[in-house]
Structures are given as structure tokens and as C-alpha cells.
Amino acid sequence: MKKSVLFISCDEAKHICDKAQYDEASSWEKIKLNIRLIYCNVTQKYYKRNKKLTNVVKSSNAECLNLKEREALEMKFKKELSKH
């Protein structure tokens, strides 16, 4: 079956929706997602939930160690661990 230019599958819509949370969806992808959002309940639900998750994580100011910090911590700890 020939793939439609405008109409995308639910899975593809979810994929674009994920990318959009990180500003990595292109304008064309966003248009396709918006078309799907008009008529698909599943996509609408996913979109709403996904956006809510993004907002919750952003508003929490949750932090974690970046790669360098984690590496430094690991090195220091392993050095000490080898003595035990």
C-alpha cells in the first residue's frame, strides 16, 4: 500500500509527539501530527499525557549527575572500594 504524505499511523504520530517534547520534530512532522490529532482519540490521549509528563519533569527541577560528574564520583568510590 502506498504511504500517505499527510495521513500518518498512530505509531508514527506517537514517535513525532515524543520528538516534539524535545523540540526535535520538524515543521512538516508537526503538521502531520496536528492532522492526526484532529481525528484520532488515541493520539490525542497520548499527546496530552506526554505533554503533561514534560511539564511535570520541567517544573520539578529534578537534577542528576552529568557524565563527567558521575565518572569522577565512580572513580573516587572505586578507589576506596578496592581497599575493602
Q: Is 21 in the site for another protein (CB under 8 A)?
A: yes
Residue position matching grid coordinates 563527567: 68
Which residues 6+ apart lie within 8 Å of 54 measured at CB?
21
* DSSP string over 35-83: HHHHH-HHHHHHHHHHHHHHHHHHHHT-----HHHHHHHHHHHHHHHTT
Out of 7, 28, 31, 69, the only residue in the binding site for another protein (CB under 8 A) is 69
Which CB atom, from 7 or from 52, has the smaller least distance to another protein?
52
Least distance (Å) between residue 52 CB and another protein? 7
Q: Is 45 in the site for another protein (CB under 8 A)?
A: no
Residues that bind another protein (CB under 8 A): 14-15, 18-19, 21-22, 24, 49-50, 52-54, 56-57, 59-67, 69-70, 72-74, 76-77, 80-81, 84
